[in-house]
Amino acid sequence: MKIVVSELIWEEGLQILSELGNVVYDANLWKQDLARELVDADALVVRNQTRVTRELIQAAPRLKVIGRLGVGLDNIDLAAAREAGIPVVYARNANAISVAEYVFAAMLTFARRLEEATAHVKGGGWNRRLYTRMELYGKTLGLIGTGEIGTRLAYRAQAFGMKILGYDPFVPPYEVACTEFGVQLTDLKTVLSQADFVSLHVPLNNATRNLINRETLSLMKPSAYLINTARGGVVNEEDLYNVLREGKIGGAALDVLAQEPPQDSPLFKLDNVILTPHIAGLTEEAQVKTSVLVAQEVVKILRGEPSSCVVR
Ligand SMILES: NC(=O)C1=CN([C@@H]2O[C@H](COP(=O)(O)OP(=O)(O)OC[C@H]3O[C@@H](n4cnc5c(N)ncnc54)[C@H](O)[C@@H]3O)[C@@H](O)[C@H]2O)C=CC1
Ligand SMILES: O=C(O)CCC(=O)C(=O)O
User: Do 115 and 156 share a domain, yes or no?
Assistant: yes
pLDDT at 172: 80
Residue among 8, 47, 49, 71 whose CB has most ligand 1 atoms within 8 A, to mutate: 71
pLDDT at 277: 98
Spot the catalytic one: 68, 152, 201, 278.
278
For residue 2, report the distance from its CA to the centre of ligand 1, in Å.
31
Spot the catalytic one: 260, 284, 297, 305.
260
Of 310, 281, 301, the closest CA to residue 63 belongs to 301
Q: According to the 3-state scheme, what is the secondary structure of 133-166?
A: CCCCCCCEEEEECCCHHHHHHHHHHHHCCCEEEE
> Which helix H or strand E contains 246, and what residues bound it?
none
Mean pLDDT of the region 108-124? 97
* Residue 41 within any structural domain of the chain: yes
Of 228, 229, 276, the closest CA to residue 240 belongs to 228
User: Do 20 and 106 share a domain, yes or no?
Assistant: no
Q: For residue range 184-221, what is the model confidence (pLDDT) as tens digits?
A: 999 999 999 999 999 999 999 999 999 999 999 999 99
Closest listed ligand to the CA of 293: 2
Locate the DSSP E strands across the chain.
2-5, 22-25, 43-46, 65-68, 88-90, 140-144, 163-167, 183-185, 197-200, 225-228, 251-254, 273-275
User: Do 87 and 189 share a domain, yes or no?
Assistant: no
Closest listed ligand to the CA of 106: 1
User: Do 90 and 149 share a domain, yes or no?
Assistant: no
* Residue 312 within any structural domain of the chain: no
User: Do 63 and 105 share a domain, yes or no?
Assistant: no
User: Do 251 and 290 share a domain, yes or no?
Assistant: no
For residue 201, report the distance from its CA to the centre of ligand 1, in Å.
4
User: Do 101 and 62 share a domain, yes or no?
Assistant: no
* Residue 105 within any structural domain of the chain: yes
* Residue 308 within any structural domain of the chain: no
Of 143, 275, 258, 272, the closest CA to residue 200 belongs to 143
Residue among 7, 49, 68, 71 whose CB has most ligand 2 atoms within 8 A, to mutate: 71
User: Do 178 and 109 share a domain, yes or no?
Assistant: yes
pLDDT at 18 over 90: yes
Beta strands at 43-46 and 2-5: parallel, antiparallel or unpaired: parallel
User: Do 29 and 131 share a domain, yes or no?
Assistant: no
What lines the ligand 1 site, CB under 6 Å? 70-72, 95-96, 99, 144-150, 167-170, 174, 201-204, 207-208, 229-231, 255-256, 278, 280-281
* Residue 267 within any structural domain of the chain: yes
Of 64, 63, 69, 65, the closest CA to residue 90 belongs to 69
Model-level ipTM above the cut of 0.95: yes
Domain count, the chain: 2
* Residue 310 within any structural domain of the chain: no
Please, which pLDDT band fits residue 22 given cuts at 50, 70 and 90? Answer: very high
Rounding to the nearest 10 degrees, give the CA dihedral for residues 191, 146, 175, 95. -160
* Residue 307 within any structural domain of the chain: no
What gap in Å lies between CA 122 and CA 252, rounded to an integer? 26
Beta strands at 273-275 and 251-254: parallel, antiparallel or unpaired: parallel
Q: Are 203 and 228 in contact (CB under 8 A)?
A: no
User: Do 128 and 256 share a domain, yes or no?
Assistant: yes
CATH for 271: 3.40.50.720
Mean pLDDT of the region 230-250? 98
What are the C-alpha distances in Å from 181 to residues 155, 158, 190, 191, 281? 5, 6, 19, 16, 22
Reply yes or no on whether 68 is catalytic: no
For residue 93, report the distance from its CA to the centre of ligand 2, in Å.
11
Its pTM stands at: 0.97
Q: Which atom of ligand 1 is nearest to the CA of 229?
A: 1
User: Do 211 and 72 share a domain, yes or no?
Assistant: no
Q: For residue range 158-184, what is the model confidence (pLDDT) as tens digits?
A: 999 999 999 999 988 889 999 999 999
H-assigned helices in 160-265: 175-180, 188-194, 214-217, 237-245
Average pLDDT for the chain: 97
User: Do 65 and 103 share a domain, yes or no?
Assistant: no
Which residue range is the domain that position 44 belongs to?
Answer: 2-94+284-302
pLDDT at 257: 98
Residue with the nearest Cα to atom 5 of ligand 1? 230
Residue with the nearest Cα to atom 8 of ligand 1? 230
Residue with the nearest Cα to atom 40 of ligand 1? 72
What are the C-alpha distances in Å from 255 to residues 2, 127, 172, 227? 34, 31, 28, 8
Q: For residue range 39-62, what is the model confidence (pLDDT) as tens digits?
A: 999 999 999 999 999 999 999 999
Q: Is the CB of 72 under 6 A from ligand 2?
A: yes
Q: According to the 3-state scheme, what is the secondary structure of 28-51?
A: CHHHCCHHHHHCCCCEEEECCCCC
Residues 6+ apart with CB under 8 A from 77: 52, 53, 54, 57
Q: What percent of the chain has pLDDT over 90?
A: 98
Closest listed ligand to the CA of 91: 2
Q: Is the CB of 147 under 6 A from ligand 2?
A: no
Reply yes or no on whether 201 is catalytic: no
Q: Is the dihedral of CA 243, 247, 248, 251 positive or negative?
A: positive
What gap in Å lies between CA 55 and CA 83, rounded to an integer? 13
Tell me 267's DSSP state.
G
Reply yes or no on whether 112 is catalytic: no
Side-chain half-sphere exposure of 3, counting CA atoms within 13 A: 28
* Residue 134 within any structural domain of the chain: yes
Residue among 201, 227, 278 whose CB has most ligand 1 atoms within 8 A, to mutate: 201
Q: Are 188 and 182 in contact (CB under 8 A)?
A: no
Side-chain half-sphere exposure of 154, counting CA atoms within 13 A: 29
Angle between helices 114-122 and 96-112 (to 10 degrees): 50
